[in-house]
Structure 1
């Protein structure tokens, strides 16, 4: 590395790689995803074999301008002007170059691990230590085998401190993370149940995590967690905190809430000290105590710490996608701003195809660890790479560097107030707007101006959880099997283009909708994937062909109508999907109809059979397995007959969500994933495999005291058996909370406690019994989430989860978030 610059050949030497180098040049960016290309001329792409083989995406990265690749084997036909570094293990190579880079710098590094709180502690320590230090830190929650490597790569000569988090899910993983981080100071956060399944027991998990700290001079954490480690590693300095043991370095002996803040008193060095933090929830309080202990261990005075802790700001690690005014979409990331999280947010913006125009509203970036010239040169290059249509810069620094931004339309304002004064002239309309602002710019004011107003009942969709579920099902597929995602019925109530954009970005093979207008809406939102329409209407064949949608053909009548339409409009080889009825007895050609169907398909120039498929009636039910096997055999007989007639191969698919895992013999060429995307599949027995995607929540509008026997609600159906209190909440049957949930059948979560409904469910509201909970107006109420699951609500009213999800009204605002 000469003058801090890596070259392709130098990295090849560090990796001891076999080399094919055509044009040696500088390398400053490491890439692991062909969809997220930045600084392509100086990028090095690692063809990782994660869920998909990264070698499949080399051509895509090359098309994006990348010319440097780390690969597992030499290409049969090297791409023109491309350099290849050939190594036995691509992930190990990424970690090796990260460890080498880390070793070039003599800076104070804090390593953080634990089950929960790693990211929060890291971000708060960044806030607390920034006045004295130039800090490089993990972006967002980059703490995996790949994420740590990419985080460490960001170290520069300007940094005098690094804060990196490390997460593991099984044994021996920390052995690879420790050499990349090489912490001098270690912090162990809360140890919970996350990833317990990857370890023999909780003790083993703690010991594996402690491997991060083997060379640390100072180790910080909760007293009981570190007690054994302290006895066995007396050469290390341990700074322990506790709420129970007064022998701890920091003993917190008094805690109370004061006007929305949390006040703590503790003993430290035989002196009583105090600390006030602006949070009340216990997770935040525990993370704050960890930060308190860390600053004391680093030698900060209790008075300085107290002053800074009181000013700690909430940490939002998620992007929120919301519906905006004038047919806009708003990506709200208005609570933090740094160069790494800006790149993550721009990648998310890049996924959105629903509007023709993409706009970035960005504030000045503080505490970047870079010189202003270097920082804003990087920002400008990043924006130019991402092809932003409109750029709005807020802050004096961005104004100063405005000529560096080569964007078609750009505006600059001194501060947020000036932009808000001018917001009507900016004329936001039919565009996707990313808000990315440092906290003191108060971009939430811009968000309020741009986001559609709606009532306080909200359904949150966790896109990370949906992606986790998608990847789980992908991992269950046999090699070469395609995946069709069902996005009918407003994606099971979860959204249209918001879900489809994610699925397209993560390369599913097909989408399926129920009706033509659903497919048209996706096409108009920029979705280019093949889309199958399950119930095509003859009256809308023109729309179907105009928007290149592919119809399911399930009867002779529909086939004749569609072929006639194609013939009249002189359309040939139009793709269709043939539905076979193997026992569901809903739609499709039956066994005795296959022969005459083949006669119609043979040598028909107007249609091209893209797939033949059927639907399993009870793939999740063991008691119907014999019937399911009959369906599979009938399907095999039918598609073989059709393929023999056509004399070309078609895609075969019969497996729905539950069959993907229960009936791998039925995966054939493609599977259809539906409600499993949303974390609901009775065939999946591993409780950690799927995550709940949706959270439906509302708030309390009023609390009333009710005497025993007094009636509540319409028809006087509700009452309490003893004196108590009821809360009226802002959800009713018009929102999708059905009347069947009334009169104690339904339960809602309030402050962690399940409480029953009281009386009938009204159109826009309902009442719950909060006699045993301390609540006030405005408090949050959860209808369903990962704890109060949709399956439980379905049991309450004797229905299925599909009905619960799809009943959520369109007037309930959807908020999509991505961490």
Structure 2
């Protein structure tokens, strides 16, 4: 069954199709395009029209373009529209209109990708669930996710992000969700907002596209929760709260035990005792929010609580790996790869996980295994970015962390504020730490690598992996 026929796509976009074609998927990247995909020639750093010929050579069914590129045959299968991005948006809206799926839209300063993947895991056990394979949550990612949605799916999970004010409302209205969730509001993208309250106001806009009788699932613990709740009240939207401090879905107890998180939660008269296959209090909060979304969608939250153990974080978002440095002597480094994103809230959560971890003694060069944090700059925090970095030195979790290595000019302020016994190496860039990696960590250590993507601290993750043989810790 085709995802898009030439006639359906032309009707959705108001465009002109040069030939008859059938597409099985939608792609914006010739590096990952598959035969049968409709190639969308978006203009970003490069103009997608420059890659149309390559897409067709790789087997694309057709290309969505605003004109026929010079190096493309006159009989090539093209869908010609005035504006390619608008054409993609039109495809997304048409895909949304033709499906009967129950749809959840997810936003939040921290955790939205993890929640999306948790929901994919649990909802896929209860029906056909559609969600993007990556963090496609911006002005082209949301319509692309919608345009790829099969008409016959039962559930869809749409991740919606923002960098500036005014971005969430049109994306929510495009998705038209039945349930809208805000994971949390934290100091991320503060450079574009006056305050945390301003971020909360923008995050609340996830509710603007809710269908009639839609439900908002909101974090009741955060200091800006009332802003979210007020927005729901103004729009006459039913809300469901989750959190440790009270609400409809109550997190009663969270225990980090080795490689798992044990969660005790309650909703109405139903008690839930379940586990995640990774440690993290922040993951536990998100997981209870996932049960609330599952229930609001009309799916089974009890089954979801059992199935959620099958979820593991995506790469760079808290993935736990064992790097075997000496197979003969069973020596290894435990790596917590959280190098995709960082702000003060997510860093505090990651430090808690590190503090609760168990290093191995009597292996490697040192007698005692250590808990080590390697931290890159947290970006887009606004005017108080220096103070936010320095304040990490006051984290109670540092009491149980042995050493902190830092990379970047902002993390230099944390490094200077650390007690001498916890102060490791500092470098201007993450690249400069790469060559020092064999001396920064040792077998028996548990090592957290955390920073904003732009800090390039993922280079250190790669360097640690090269010290041995990677083995994922999945239960």
TM > 0.5: yes
CA–CA separation in structure 2 for the residues paired with 1:787 and 1:699: 31
Gaps of 5+ in 1: 321-333, 336-443, 466-686, 688-696, 704-713, 715-725, 732-748, 756-769
SS at match of 1:238: strand
TM-score for the superposition, normalised by structure 1: 0.41
Shift of 1:167: 1.4
Partner of 2:129: 135
CA–CA separation in structure 2 for the residues paired with 1:791 and 1:255: 35
Contact 1:458–1:815 (8 Å) recurs in 2: no
CA–CA separation in structure 2 for the residues paired with 1:202 and 1:15: 38
CA–CA separation in structure 2 for the residues paired with 1:46 and 1:240: 39
Partner of 2:92: 98
Aligned pair 1:27/2:28, yes or no? no
Shift of 1:109: 1.1
Alignment CA distance shift 1:456-1:16 (3 Å) = same
Shift of 1:195: 2.2
Alignment CA distance shift 1:64-1:191 (3 Å) = same
Aligned pair 1:221/2:218, yes or no? yes
Higher relative contact order (CA 8 A, sep 6+): 2
Shift of 1:293: 2.5
CA–CA separation in structure 1 for the residues paired with 2:283 and 2:437: 34
SS at match of 2:185: coil
Q: Deviations over 1:30-58 (max 9, x none)?
A: 2212222211xx33222211122222323
CA–CA separation in structure 2 for the residues paired with 1:190 and 1:771: 21
Alignment CA distance shift 1:222-1:33 (3 Å) = same
Q: Deviations over 1:132-159 (max 9, x none)?
A: 3222222232222222233223332442
Partner of 2:465: 815
Q: Deviations over 1:262-291 (max 9, x none)?
A: 55556643x473434345422112102212
SS at match of 2:253: strand
SS at match of 1:773: helix
Partner of 2:241: 240
CA–CA separation in structure 2 for the residues paired with 1:123 and 1:166: 13
Contact 2:106–2:160 (8 Å) recurs in 1: yes
TM-score for the superposition, normalised by structure 2: 0.66
- CA RMSD between the two structures: 4.8
Gaps of 5+ in 2: 344-353, 373-388, 417-422, 442-462, 471-475
Shift of 1:12: 2.9
CA–CA separation in structure 2 for the residues paired with 1:38 and 1:154: 13
Alignment CA distance shift 1:54-1:275 (3 Å) = same
Partner of 2:315: 318
Correspondence 1:455-534 to 2 at 5 A: 456=332
Aligned pair 1:210/2:209, yes or no? no
Correspondence 1:728-807 to 2 at 5 A: 729=370, 773-774=399-400, 782-784=404-406, 789=411, 804-805=432-433, 807=435
Pick from 141, 159, 183: which aligns with 1:165? Answer: 159
Contact 2:216–2:232 (8 Å) recurs in 1: no
SS at match of 2:142: helix
CA–CA separation in structure 2 for the residues paired with 1:771 and 1:172: 36
Contact 1:44–1:68 (8 Å) recurs in 2: yes
CA–CA separation in structure 2 for the residues paired with 1:45 and 1:165: 22
Partner of 1:188: 182
Correspondence 1:93-492 to 2 at 5 A: 93-214=87-208, 215-216=210-211, 217-223=214-220, 224-225=225-226, 226-234=228-236, 236-245=237-246, 248-252=247-251, 254-257=252-255, 259-260=257-258, 268-269=267-268, 271=269, 273-278=271-276, 280-297=279-296, 308=306, 312-318=309-315, 456=332
SS at match of 1:210: helix
